Amino acid sequence: MEVLRPQLIRIDGRNYRKNPVQEQTYQHEEDEEDFYQGSMECADEPCDAYEVEQTPQGFRSTLRAPSLLYKHIVGKRGDTRKKIEMETKTSISIPKPGQDGEIVITGQHRNGVISARTRIDVLLDTFRRKQPFTHFLAFFLNEVEVQEGFLRFQEEVLAKCSMNTGGRVRWLTPVIPALWEAEDHGVDSSIFQNPKKLHLTIGMLVLLSEEEIQQTCEMLQQCKEEFINDISGGKPLEVEMAGIEYMNDDPGMVDVLYAKVHMKDGSNRLQELVDRVLERFQASGLIVKEWNSVKLHATVMNTLFRKDPNAEGRYNLYTAEGKYIFKERESFDGRNILKLFENFYFGSLKLNSIHISQRFTVDSFGNYASCGQIDFS
CATH number at 103 reads: 3.30.1370.10
289 vs 282: CA distance, rounded Å: 6
pLDDT of residue 140: 96
Among residues 114, 130, 146, the one where a domain terminates is 130
Q: Is residue 195 part of a domain?
A: yes
Q: Is 274 left (phi over 0), alpha (psi -120 to 50) or beta?
A: alpha
196 and 278 share a domain? yes
199 and 95 share a domain? no
Q: DSSP code of 6?
A: P
- pTM, entire model: 0.76
- CB burial of residue 103 (10 Å; 0-12, 13-18, 19+): buried
126 and 139 share a domain? no
Range of the domain at 316: 135-162+183-375
295 and 208 share a domain? yes
Q: What's the CA angle centered on 291, arms 288 and 294, to 5 degrees?
A: 110
pLDDT of residue 49: 73
Average pLDDT along the chain, 377 residues, taken 10 residues at a time: 55 53 40 48 56 93 93 94 96 89 95 95 90 95 95 97 58 39 81 95 93 95 97 97 93 95 97 96 86 91 85 52 61 96 97 95 88 96
Q: Is residue 176 part of a domain?
A: no
333 and 274 share a domain? yes
186 vs 123: CA distance, rounded Å: 43
Q: Is residue 39 part of a domain?
A: no
188 and 96 share a domain? no
149 and 235 share a domain? yes
Q: How many CB atoms lie within 10 A of CB 232?
A: 19
110 and 231 share a domain? no
Show Cβ contacts of residue 173 under 8 Å, excluding neighbours closer than 6 positions. 179
pLDDT of residue 310: 67
Q: Is residue 291 part of a domain?
A: yes
**How many structural domains comprise the chain?**
2
Among residues 130, 146, 175, the one where a domain terminates is 130
pLDDT of residue 90: 96
Cα dihedral value 247, 253, 255, 261, nearest 10:
40
